[in-house]
Copies of this chain bind each other. A is one copy, B any other.
Amino acid sequence: MYVRVAICQINPTVGDIEKNYNKILSFIDKARILGAKIICFPELALCGYPPEDLVFQKDFITSQNEIIQKMSKNVDDYIVVIGFVEMKEDLYNACAIICNGKIHTYEKIHLPNYAVFDEFRYFKRGSRYPVFTTKDGFRFGVTICEDIWHPTEPLLSLTTYGNAQLIVNISASPYHISKPKIREQMLCTRAYDYSVYIAFCNMVGGQDELVFDGTSSVISPYGETIARAPSFKEHLLIKDIFVDETFLRRVHDPRPRFETPQMQCEKINLDIEVMSNSSRLYEESFFNFLQEEEEMLSALILGTKDYIQKNNFSKIIVALSGGIDSSLVACIAAESVEPQNILGISMPSEFSSQHSWEDAEILAKNLGINFIKIPIKNLYDLFLKELEFLFAGTKFSTAEENLQARIRGNLVMTISNKFSYLVLACGNKSEMSVGYATLYGDLAGGFAPIKDLYKTDVYRIAEFYNKKKGREIIPKRVFEKPPSAELRPGQKDEDELLPYRILDQILKLYIERDMPPSVISAITKVDAFTVLKVIRMVEQSEYKRRQAPPGVRITSRAFGKDRRVPITKSISYIHKF
């Protein structure tokens, strides 16, 4: 006897409840045609995730509750599991379990309030542990995202006390490098520990700085992944699960017998049958995990594409310097919109090398995007002339360097305003970390696709892109020239502080692992004084990052919602090395 489960890995838009609802209906139709009995949608699928302070608007909430009511009228002999914001005496991050015209609910118990999450700000935590039993005796429990990351409850009670054969987990679990694997490893362990099937239904799509990778799956009570949806794409994943397998495995693994469940489960009967014993099983999909570079590139593209589309842009500007950062951003842009809707602009100054605009032009040609060139020398000279009465006798300084970057910023923004282009900024994480970027200059733009990609990873992903395309879209010379902002004669990034290879290592240990300077110094073999200098630069650049555009979160700790440090502060307490 088996039950056919459908996992609808959809890409909703935050707040576009009507559009999301229509998408949900069309997935239900497809799943029905394929004979699915339990049809699952992600966490807050109806309103998109994270809705942030939109949950404080009453229309935002009531419209969802109305749609759930309306939806229930059309659901008969199957079960829909779908996330929404539930309004009772308070707000809950909830899940509707809709069956035969009736609506049951489950309220998320573990509200994440760390990293990029703020759920205690919005929701009251649930306290009910419902287990649903169909007329033909199939038992399942429902959990929402964070609930399943806890090794004990609610899984312990749902499986041991409630005797659930399947745990549905609906999620909006955001991506960072390797997250799909780390997450599935955890799910396999849970299924194995509690001898239970897990149907994991994750959201897919970009939402401001977050990107949800999908990678939904079905795990057997033996801890094996038996079906997996692709990453970074919408998908309908169908899988037949054998209901007896839970019991068969439980008697061989008696660990849960020694555990004490904390909560009594609420038993809820559903008046439909879901089991079948037809011998024609559904031929399920099985997608492999992406290799790391492919995974990162896909995240960058989906995050960028969704930012563009969901904000109703169709045209993109990228300032092309001939360097690796803007080259990669242009490639990402070209994967997100039609190349003919992209304008690449080269804005050489007197300090730009000949190869800079040449390489920019070659890249533009390779991508099939539009290309124009606006030299900034005249504007630069005129600015300096207008400021001569103040600047006379002073030395060339960062003021003159930033001025060039800001003239470029002004040019792209003016063109953007004139023709409704979205400007993509090209800063990478190494620059954003230590402040090698000009506010209102190269940081200008609506979205910064690679802001969470370290410089060394920019090279790695750019190389992968060329390889994937089977030709040198990004010219070889771009990889070979030493990184430079070209804002003064002979400037080279790596002369100023450290080679990126080493700098990035320090940054990762400090930003993503909170390591103290002494340990960073020991690991990287860079003297503690230099390490502390890097840390100071990171902390003193916070004001710049606060005014930078959002970009795709790729690492386990991105700037933005994920790392919240004051601008005003002293870090004099770091002194022990």
Contacts and interface: CB of A to CB of B under 8 A. Distances in A.
B13 A568 contact: yes
A368 interface: no
A26 interface: no
Interface in A179-228: 206-208
A516 B58 contact: yes
B415 A390 contact: yes
A17 interface: yes
A291 interface: no
A207 B402 contact: no
A382 B378 contact: yes
Contact of A568 (B310, B382, B570): B310
A59 B382 CA distance: 49
A108 to B, nearest CB: 15
Contact of A383 (B15, B57, B414, B576): B414
Contact of A402 (B54, B121, B397, B417): B417
A256 interface: no
A440 B444 contact: yes
Nearest to A417: B399
Interface stretch (A27-35, A92-100, A404-412): A404-412
Contacts of A397: 417-418
A548 B547 contact: yes
Contacts of A572: 15-19
A378 to B, nearest CB: 6
A114 interface: yes
How many identical subunits does the complex contain? 2
A372 interface: yes
A491 interface: no
Contacts of A564: 52-53, 118, 121
A63 interface: yes
Contact of A390 (B14, B16, B372): B372
A315 to B, nearest CB: 13
Contacts of A13: 568-570
A113 B121 CA distance: 5
Interface string A417-443: 110000000000000000000011000
Given A440-B410, A440-B440, A19 B570 contact: yes
B418 A399 contact: yes
A279 interface: no
Interface string A28-68: 00000000000000000000101111101111100100000
A57 B547 contact: no
Interface residues of A, number: 85
A410 to B, nearest CB: 4
B378 A386 contact: yes
A567 B390 CA distance: 40
Interface in A493-550: 514, 516, 543, 546-550
A391 interface: yes
A307 B514 CA distance: 26
Contact of A514 (B19, B56, B400, B439): B56
A268 interface: no
Nearest to A115: B121
Interface in A88-140: 113-114, 118, 120-121
A154 to B, nearest CB: 20
Given A118-B564, A440-B444, A574 B207 contact: no
Given A121-B114, A413-B439, A14 B383 contact: no
A374 interface: yes
Contacts of A207: 566, 568
Interface in A283-332: 306-307, 310-311
A1 interface: no
Interface in A435-483: 439-440, 444, 446
Given A113-B113, A573-B17, A311 B440 contact: no
A409 B414 CA distance: 13
Contact of A57 (B18, B118, B394, B574): B574
Given A310-B568, A406-B414, 14 more contacts: A14-B566, A14-B568, A15-B569, A16-B569, A17-B573, A52-B566, A54-B565, A59-B516, A59-B574, A59-B576, A207-B566, A400-B414, A403-B417, A543-B549
Interface of A: 13-19, 48, 50-54, 56-60, 63, 113-114, 118, 120-121, 206-208, 306-307, 310-311, 372, 374, 378-379, 382-383, 386-387, 389-391, 394, 397-400, 402-403, 406-407, 409-411, 413-415, 417-418, 439-440, 444, 446, 514, 516, 543, 546-550, 563-576
